[in-house]
């Protein structure tokens, strides 16, 4: 979970995968906050009136950045790495 602290960029849109396998789409990262003693990530839902969504860091299974050039580059590199290791 600590790995997300320095990776998320304010204003970038993400897809969040929760531990319960629920997927939250089109959330724009705002900031990390502390609510009632718990670290939370604050996102804004761009499709629902930009209301804030607070997610407990410990319930997040994965975070995927949406609509960037790097996604396709990282995917290609991952496929190449998998081909090398499977030989």
pLDDT tens, 6-15?
678 888 888 8
Q: Tell me what pLDDT residue 42 has.
A: 92
SS3 44: strand
Q: Tell me what pLDDT residue 1 has.
A: 45
pLDDT tens, 36-87?
999 899 999 888 777 888 999 888 888 887 765 555 566 566 667 767 666 5
- Residue 9 burial class via C-beta count within 10 angstroms: exposed 0-12, middle 13-18, buried 19 and up: exposed
Q: Tell me what pLDDT residue 50 has.
A: 73
């Amino acid at each position: 979970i600590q790995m997300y602290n320095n990776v998320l960029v304010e204003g970038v849109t993400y897809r969040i995968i929760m531990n319960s396998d629920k997927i939250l789409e089109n959330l724009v990262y705002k900031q990390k906050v502390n609510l009632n003693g718990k670290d939370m990530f604050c996102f804004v839902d761009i499709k629902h009136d930009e209301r804030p969504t607070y997610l407990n860091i410990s319930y997040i299974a994965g975070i995927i950045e949406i609509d960037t050039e790097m996604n396709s580059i990282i995917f290609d590199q991952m496929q190449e790495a998998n081909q090398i290791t499977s030989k």
